């Protein structure tokens, strides 16, 4: 009568594990420790049923003998017919490996000296959760009653696995909602002063027509253009015009990501994945599921992260850092850059295959100097907004002041114009603004450069003039980047391109 008591205790312990365990690994270890003394296997694994997918995933890394090529028991076999047959026919299958050489899995099992295995489907009602496998190096030691007991155990294991998957889904949804809430709070703060897309130029009309067309699809979009041309706003416009607009627009500034934490930010991590990972984190790809993921400054992404991103874009699935579970993503990708990715590809700084994966529907946003007809309407819009915000009266611009604004090349584009109008409202509210005042604000103490000069030379002269004023200081409220209406990284990129050294402008002595 001892064996039936052992079996009853086994079922009871599995049931207790269902109630108390809160992690896959913990549950699987408990199931293994309960079953091993009775069923005496050399290796145990649970494969998950993934309808519509061509690959297998372990519920938790296999325990026991390692099979060559399966990456320390964490990588599931991708060519395995027996689990498919067990799930399809809903019956337990016993396999003599040496006498079944035609099976795809036979060869790798022989390399691990595994001669027998038993595969049982995990079934709840009509639902097939996966399979559980027991492997043996010697002759199958199980008697008929033990095989029957294994079938009984499989029913309990099915409940345990299904409950754990349901619990994980609830946890994932909770974490995603928490991450989404946190992200939304940051977005609301950033968007308090977010302007509409203001324009009258035909070129912008054409761009937004194209944006509306692509918004109706899930096609990947690549936005190019100088800093401050409105790539962020066009990305949000595409999202608002799409079927995904009811979900949160998720933005990632690739240039701001800490290199060692890029994968964690994009794909999330499990608790204990690395030092400091005290809790599980949901990555941006997971938060952006069924929504839009905007990858800003994609050209700044390091090559290792580019390889990982390419894989996710191709397979539409990923794993959290430190995790083994495969997560599918249905995020629509919009990428943006102020750099020439073709040049970066030629310089081996950007993957060519990733470039082609992103460049499916390119949209180039022109600089403000190429659409001067938008300057007056944008200036009026910014002036109205700053006057309301700062409780100031609107200044009056003289004709020569307006002409100067139209001639100025605006290296920082719309963002520089916005910052400039803000300074005008602060300094000259309800006053007449002349060309002289504008020259002072724009640090143009000499006449505008001759039109015959190359644009690069005009840009060089202007940047050097501002660097001279700031004595080579780039950052801070009085730094060159702020005065130019540029991000520090963008200014550094342009200075490098124009071979301008800030050290030449620093005061010595």
Q: Mind listing the pLDDT tens digit for each residue in 209-261? A: 999 999 999 999 999 999 999 999 999 999 999 999 988 899 999 988 888 88
Q: Residue 428 pairs with which residues in a beta bridge?
A: none
When comparing pLDDT for 182 and 136, which is higher?
Answer: 136
Pick from 299, 294, 297, 305: which is nearest to 263 by CA?
Answer: 305
pLDDT band at 453 (very low <50, low <70, confident <90, very high): low
Query: What is the reported pLDDT for 490?
Result: 79
C-alpha span between 253 and 266 (Å, rounded): 11
Provide mean pLDDT across the span 391-405: 91
Cα separation, 250 vs 287, in Å, equals 8
Report the pLDDT value the prediction gives residue 394, as an integer from 0 to 100: 87
Mean pLDDT of the chain: 86
How far apart CA 299 and CA 198 sit, in angstroms, is: 27
At residue 85, does pLDDT exceed 70?
yes
Q: How far is CA 192 from CA 166, 232, 484, in A?
A: 38, 15, 23
pLDDT tens, 33-80?
A: 889 988 899 999 999 987 766 567 889 889 999 888 776 556 666 667
Helix locations, 119-201, DSSP H = 144-191
User: How many Cβ atoms sit within 10 Å of the Cβ of residue 74?
Assistant: 12
- Residue 451 clears pLDDT 70, i.e. is over it: no
**What is the SS3 string spanning 456-480?**
HHHHHHHHHHHHHHHCCCCCCCCCH
pLDDT score of 167: 85
pLDDT at 455 over 70: no
Q: Place 5 in a pLDDT band, splitting at 50, 70 and 90.
A: very low
At residue 193, does pLDDT exceed 50? no
Cite the DSSP H helix spans in 351-393: 352-358, 374-390
Q: How many residues does the chain have?
A: 509
Q: What is the mean pLDDT of residues 501-508?
A: 76
- Judge whether residue 15 has pLDDT over 90: no
pLDDT-based confidence at 8, cuts 50/70/90? confident
CB-CB contact of 318 with 273 (8 Å): no
Instruction: Return the SS3 of 9.
Output: helix
Whether the per-residue pLDDT at 429 is higher than 60: the answer is yes
User: 222: which strand partners?
Assistant: 335, 362
Position 1 scores a pLDDT of: 38
Domains and CATH numbers, the chain: 7-167 (3.30.450.40), 193-364 (3.40.50.300), 368-442 (1.10.8.60), 455-505 (no CATH)
% of the chain with per-residue pLDDT over 90? 45
pTM: predicted TM-score of the whole model, two decimal places: 0.63
The 10s digit of each residue's pLDDT in 264-323 is 999 998 888 888 888 888 889 999 999 999 999 999 999 999 999 999 999 999 989 988
pLDDT at position 154, please? 92
């Amino acid at each position: 009568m001892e064996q039936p008591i052992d079996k009853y205790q086994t079922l009871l312990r599995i049931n207790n594990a269902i109630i108390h365990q809160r992690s896959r690994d913990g549950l699987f270890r408990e199931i293994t420790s309960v079953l091993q003394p009775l069923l005496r296997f050399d290796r145990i694994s649970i494969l998950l049923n993934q309808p519509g997918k061509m690959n297998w995933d372990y519920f938790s890394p296999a325990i026991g003998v390692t099979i060559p090529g399966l990456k320390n028991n964490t990588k599931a076999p991708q060519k395995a017919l027996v689990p498919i047959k067990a799930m399809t026919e809903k019956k337990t299958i016993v396999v003599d490996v040496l006498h079944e050489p035609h099976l795809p899995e036979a060869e790798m099992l022989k390399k691990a000296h595994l001669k027998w295995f038993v595969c049982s489907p995990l079934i709840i009602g009509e639902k097939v959760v996966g399979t559980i496998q027991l492997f043996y190096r010697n002759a199958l030691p199980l008697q008929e009653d033990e095989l029957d007991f294994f079938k009984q155990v499989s029913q309990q294991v099915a409940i345990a696995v299904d409950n754990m998957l349901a619990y994980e889904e609830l946890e994932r949804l909770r974490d995603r909602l928490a991450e989404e809430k946190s992200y939304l709070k940051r977005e609301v703060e950033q968007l308090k002063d977010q302007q509409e897309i203001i324009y009258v130029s035909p070129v912008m009309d054409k761009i937004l027509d194209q944006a509306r067309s692509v918004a109706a699809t899930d096609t990947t979009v690549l936005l190019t253009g100088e800093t401050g041309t409105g790539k962020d706003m066009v990305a949000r416009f595409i999202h608002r015009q799409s079927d995904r607009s009811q979900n949160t627009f998720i933005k990632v500034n690739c240039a701001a990501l800490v290199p060692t934490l890029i994968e964690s930010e994009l794909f999330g991590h499990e608790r204990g994945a690395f030092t400091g990972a005290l809790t599980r984190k949901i990555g941006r790809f997971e938060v952006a599921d069924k929504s839009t993921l905007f990858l800003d400054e994609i050209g700044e992404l390091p090559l290792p992260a580019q390889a990982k991103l390419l894989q996710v874009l191709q397979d539409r699935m990923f794993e959290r850092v430190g995790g083994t579970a495969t997560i599918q993503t249905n995020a629509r990708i919009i990428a943006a850059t102020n750099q020439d990715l073709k040049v970066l590809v030629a310089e081996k700084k950007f993957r060519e295959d990733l470039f082609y994966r992103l460049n499916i529907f390119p949209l180039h946003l022109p600089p403000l100097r190429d659409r001067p007809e938008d300057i007056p309407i944008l200036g009026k819009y910014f002036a109205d907004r700053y006057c309301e915000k700062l409780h100031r009266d609107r200044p009056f611009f003289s004709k020569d002041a307006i002409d100067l604004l139209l001639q100025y090349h605006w290296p920082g584009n719309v963002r520089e114009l916005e910052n400039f109008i803000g300074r005008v409202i602060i300094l000259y509210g309800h006053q007449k603004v002349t060309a002289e005042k504008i020259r002072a604000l724009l640090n143009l103490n000499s006449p505008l450069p001759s039109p015959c000069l190359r644009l690069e030379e005009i840009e060089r002269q202007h940047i050097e003039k501002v660097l001279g004023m700031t004595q080579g200081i780039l950052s801070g409220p009085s730094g060159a980047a702020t005065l130019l209406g540029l991000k520090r990284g963008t200014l550094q990129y342009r200075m490098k391109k124009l071979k301008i050294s800030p050290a030449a402008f620093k005061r010595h002595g």
